[in-house]
Amino acid sequence: MNKALQELADAGVAVWLDDLSRPRLHSGSLAAMVERGDIVGITTNPTIFAKAIGAGSGYEAQLRELALRGTAIGETLRLLTAWDVRAACDVLRPVFDRSGGRDGRVSIEVDPRISGDAERTAAEAHGLWWLVDRPNLFIKIPATLAGLPAITACLADGISVNVTLIFSLERYEAVLDAFLAGLEQRAAAGDSLEGIESVASFFVSRVDTEVDRRLAALPADGDGRRGSKTGYSWSRVDVAGLGDGTLTFSGAVRDGSMCWRSGEAAGE
């Protein structure tokens, strides 16, 4: 592990890789990163997979087989990405087991084109959860208004979620409410909360970039980073408080994790 990653790990930061591809899996480079302790998680999105699949390397045989079967393009992409994510989950499974399920997670995102439809988003999340079929999976759901009830529905059904595209403290607060509502529904139904985890992906530099566009000068501590710090403090208070307290003794709820996305400083 290099010095910078070691310093992050020592500070309690769980470093995730924002990339995944078939060559990275087949070459052993991903396994090597995990073995060295460079990363303890992976997040993916449609853009990452579009680039990987578009490059073609490693996907040819599976694409040929799916084409012979007459598989539709949308389902082909779903199967290809699910295969990669399932394999990555297996690579990170030792980390998952050692950490008691806190680390070693891999995220796969629902189709962003349906982010305005709560029912379709929840259905897509259930389908991906079934297709990948690994306990260390996160289903990534955008924090749109329609995404909030989908988050609740997924958690109520025992699906771990990574809520992405959070740009404001107000939306983060709504995400926390959706998260707690899902756990409360599951507990009320008498179902176990064991193994359910969540992470909130708070975007940093995009907020700063927009503020820079509107204002000629910003304080040294940019708005995106200030919002991130406030959001982190909220995660300690609100999630630890567990809503109305009905989940306090459920035995499976831990502090919600926050993922800092697009963390590079604007303009650098």
**DSSP character for 72?**
-
CB contact at 8 A, 81 and 132 = no
Catalytic residue numbers read 140
CB contact at 8 A, 235 and 197 = no
CB contact at 8 A, 180 and 219 = no
Comparing CA positions, the residue from 102, 89, 143, 147 lying closest to residue 122 is 147
CB contact at 8 A, 134 and 71 = no
Q: b/e for 167-204, b at 16 or more Cβ within 10 A?
A: beeebbebbbebbbbbbbebbeeeeebeebbbbbbbbb
